[in-house]
Structure 1
Amino acid sequence: METKKLSSFNLLSDTHTALTRLPKSFRESVCHECGWSEATFYRKARGKNTFSNAEKEKILAVTDDLLKSVLEQNVSYRQR
């Protein structure tokens, strides 16, 4: 669930790259955590909101972790 650390020291490039990686990282992490295939992920994304409580918690945890990694990158740039 961790995004790759960036090291180009270019704020705009690093931020753009991190944000464009989010959808793929999110999908892969949710599939891994929930034991879904990519097809299942997209089928569930198009369907009704019928998730188990465990699935809801895993989806929220993945989201929290990915957004936290982007925020940590911002903190590192602020400290430079």
Structure 2
Amino acid sequence: MQAKKLSSTNLLMETHSGLIQLPRSFRDSVCEECGWSEATFYRKTKGKNTFSNAEKEKILAVADTLLKSVWEQNNKLRGR
């Protein structure tokens, strides 16, 4: 049964598409959570690590959420 679920979709394309969207999703979510513009996000990526504790927590929470989403999608593709 698992083999059928894996072969019913283009596994490579679906996985690639999901992963390629991660940087944009990460940026957009961090900007929303921290109240930043896109320009601020990129400026802060090039600066020193001077984030408030709240910003650090939000950045890590966004990363955790996105990675969990990828994990769940992979399990779905496996048929779990």
- Establish whether TM, by shorter chain, passes 0.5: yes
Deviation, structure 1 residue 70: 0.6
The number of residues matched between the two structures is 73
Q: Extract unaligned runs of 5+ from structure 1.
A: 1-7
Whose radius of gyration is greater, 1 or 2?
Answer: 2
Give the TM-score taking structure 1 as reference length: 0.87
Distance (Å, rounded) in 2 between the aligned partners of 1:9 and 1:54: 40
Three-state SS of the structure 2 residue aligned to 1:9 is coil
Deviation, structure 1 residue 9: 2.1
State the identity %.
74
Deviation, structure 1 residue 10: 1.5
Are 2:58 and 1:53 equivalent residues in the alignment? no
Letter in 2 for 1:35: G
Poorly superposed stretches of 4+, deviation over 6 Å: none
Are 2:62 and 1:67 equivalent residues in the alignment? no
Deviation, structure 1 residue 65: 0.5
Q: CA RMSD in A?
A: 1.3
Letter in 2 for 1:27: R
Three-state SS of the structure 2 residue aligned to 1:39 is helix
Bigger relative contact order (CA 8 A; separation at least 6): 2
* Structure ranking higher in helix proportion: 2
Give the TM-score taking structure 2 as reference length: 0.87
Deviation, structure 1 residue 40: 0.3
Letter in 2 for 1:76: K
